[in-house]
C-alpha cells in the first residue's frame, strides 16, 4: 500500500486519465452554460485517458488503477453517511480502489501498444461486482469525436503514432486517424417537439430527511405545488425523481390525490411498491385516473442488492439492510409506457446508465429518474450525465433526466441541443 501511495507518476497518469470528467465537474459546479467550452475541453482532455493508458509502465499499472478507482468512484462510499457504519467510509474507498488496481494490472499487463489498444476498448465490458460505470468510451461523450468502438480505436492508434519517438514520420498518420474519427454531424440537433411539453422537476430533499415520516407532509405538499405549477404552464406530463414519494404509494391515501390530478396532467413519479415481502423501486405513471407501473430491472450493486455468493450475501444483507423482512427485488424485463401517441421507457437511476436498457429498445425517448442526494456533493452527477450522454449518442436516443439534488436535463443524441434545468433555489 505504501508503494501505491508514493507512486507519484501513477497518480499524475491517473489524473490524466480522469481529467475530462473532472473538467466537466468543474463546469457543472460553476454552472457554465456554454456547451462549446465543454466540447473543447473534452475533445482535448479525453484522448489523455488513452495516452495515460498507453504509457503507464507495467510496474505502475496497479497503482494507476488504484488512483483511478479512488478518483472516479470515491463517492460510492458517501452513502454510508446515512447509515450506522459511517466509520467504514475510508475503508470502502480503499476497497474500491484496490478492485480497480487489480483490474488495471490485468488490463496493462503487457506494454505492447496494440495489446493496450484492445484492452482499452474491452475495458467497458468488464464490470466488477456488476458495477458498470467504468466506461472510458464515455469520456468522449462531449468531444468532437464519434463514440463507437471503431472511432475510439482510430483515436487510440493516433495516440500510438503521435507519441512514437520518430514523431515526424508518424505525425501525418496520427492526424489522419484523428480526422477519420471526427463526428461530422457536430451541428445537427434532434427534433425535441415530442418532449417540449414535459416538465422535469429538480427536487432538493435532503437524504437524512427523505425517509423521515415527520417530513412526509412537506414532500406531499411540494409534489402538489410542482404539479399545480406545471398545470399553469399547460404541460402535458410532469416527471419527478426516483423515490420522490419515499414510501409505498399504492398503500397511501396520496395515490388517490394523484389519480384525481391526472385528469389534467400526466404524472410520472418514482416511488416504492411492495408485493408480499418483496420491495420494488418503481415508477408510476398516472394519466386520466389510470396507472401504469414499471419496476426497476437493474439494481444498484451493494445499494439495493449484494452481488456476492449466497453464503456472504445473506449475512451482509442483514447487516447493511437491517432485519426487515422486505428486500429489494427486480423486475425481469424493461417496460415501456404509452401516453396518448407518445411512447417512452422509464428508467430508475442506476439502470439508466446500463447498456442493457438501450441496446434492444425500440423506444426513441428514455426518461431517467434519480436520487443523487446519497452522493452530494461529489462528481457523481457529472459522471452520470457523461454516461447518459454516451448512451444517447451511441444508440441515437433522447434522454430526459429528473433528479433530486442535481440538475435535471434533456440530452440530445448529437453534441449540441442539450437542455439543462438548474436546481430551484
Cα distance between residue 152 and residue 160, in whole Å = 13
CA angle in degrees (0–180, nearest 5) for 12-17-23: 95
- Which positions are catalytic? 242, 296, 349
- Give the span between the Cα atoms of 222 and 212, in whole angstroms: 15
- The C-alpha atoms of residue 243 and residue 282 are separated, in whole angstroms, by 8
CA distance 282 to 247: 11
Q: Which three cell numbers stand for residue 167?
A: 514523431
CA-to-CA distance for 315 and 243, rounded, in angstroms? 26
With the C-alpha atoms ordered 61, 64, 70, 71, is the resulting torsion angle positive or negative? negative
Of 55, 63, 83, the C-alpha closest to 8 is 63
What is d(CA 310, CA 313) in angstroms, rounded to the nearest whole number?
5
For residue 140, with 0-12 CB atoms within 10 Å meaning exposed, 13-18 middle and 19 or more buried, which class applies? Answer: buried
Helix axes 380-395, 8-29, angle to 10 degrees: 80
Amino acid at each position: 500500500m505504501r508503494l501505491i501511495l508514493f507512486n507519484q507518476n501513477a497518480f499524475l497518469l491517473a489524473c490524466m486519465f480522469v481529467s475530462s470528467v473532472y473538467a466537466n465537474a468543474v463546469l457543472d459546479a460553476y454552472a457554465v452554460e456554454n456547451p462549446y467550452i465543454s466540447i473543447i475541453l473534452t475533445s482535448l482532455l479525453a484522448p489523455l485517458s488513452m495516452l495515460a493508458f498507453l504509457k503507464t509502465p507495467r510496474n505502475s499499472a496497479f497503482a494507476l488503477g488504484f488512483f483511478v478507482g479512488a478518483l472516479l468512484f470515491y463517492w460510492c462510499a458517501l452513502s454510508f453517511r446515512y447509515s450506522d457504519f459511517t466509520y467504514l467510509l475510508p475503508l470502502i474507498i480503499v476497497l474500491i480502489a484496490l478492485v480497480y488496481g487489480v483490474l488495471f494490472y490485468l488490463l496493462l499487463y503487457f506494454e505492447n501498444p496494440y495489446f493496450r489498444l484492445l484492452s482499452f476498448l474491452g475495458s467497458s465490458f468488464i464490470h466488477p461486482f456488476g458495477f458498470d460505470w467504468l466506461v472510458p468510451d464515455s469520456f468522449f461523450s462531449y468531444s468532437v469525436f464519434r463514440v463507437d468502438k471503431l472511432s475510439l480505436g482510430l483515436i487510440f492508434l493516433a495516440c500510438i503514432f503521435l507519441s512514437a519517438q520518430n514523431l515526424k514520420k508518424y505525425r501525418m498518420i496520427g492526424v489522419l486517424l484523428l480526422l477519420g474519427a471526427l463526428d461530422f454531424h457536430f451541428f445537427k440537433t434532434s427534433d425535441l417537439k415530442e418532449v417540449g411539453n414535459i416538465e422535469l422537476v429538480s427536487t432538493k430533499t435532503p437524504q437524512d430527511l427523505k425517509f423521515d415520516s415527520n417530513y412526509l407532509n412537506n414532500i406531499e405538499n411540494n409534489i402538489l405545488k410542482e404539479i399545480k405549477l406545471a398545470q399553469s404552464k399547460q404541460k402535458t406530463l410532469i416527471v419527478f425523481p426516483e423515490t420522490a414519494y419515499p414510501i409505498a404509494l399504492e398503500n397511501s391515501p396520496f395515490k388517490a390525490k394523484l389519480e384525481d390530478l391526472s385528469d389534467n396532467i400526466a404524472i410520472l413519479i418514482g416511488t416504492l411498491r411492495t408485493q408480499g415481502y418483496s420491495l420494488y423501486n418503481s415508477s408510476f405513471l398516472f394519466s386520466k385516473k389510470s396507472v401504469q407501473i414499471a419496476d426497476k430491472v437493474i439494481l444498484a450493486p451493494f445499494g439495493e442488492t449484494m452481488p456476492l455468493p449466497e453464503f456472504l450475501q445473506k449475512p451482509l444483507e442483514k447487516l447493511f439492510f437491517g432485519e426487515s423482512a422486505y428486500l429489494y427485488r427486480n423486475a425481469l424485463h424493461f417496460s415501456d409506457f404509452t401516453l396518448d401517441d407518445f411512447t417512452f421507457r422509464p428508467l430508475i437511476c442506476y439502470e439508466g446508465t446500463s447498456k442493457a436498457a438501450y441496446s434492444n429498445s425500440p423506444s426513441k425517448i428514455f426518461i431517467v429518474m434519480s436520487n443523487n442526494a446519497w452522493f452530494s456533493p461529489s462528481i457523481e452527477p457529472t459522471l452520470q450525465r457523461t454516461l447518459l450522454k454516451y448512451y444517447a449518442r451511441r444508440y441515437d436516443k433522447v434522454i430526459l433526466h429528473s433528479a433530486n439534488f442535481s440538475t435535471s436535463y434533456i440530452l440530445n443524441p448529437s453534441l449540441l441541443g442539450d437542455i439543462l434545468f438548474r436546481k430551484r433555489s
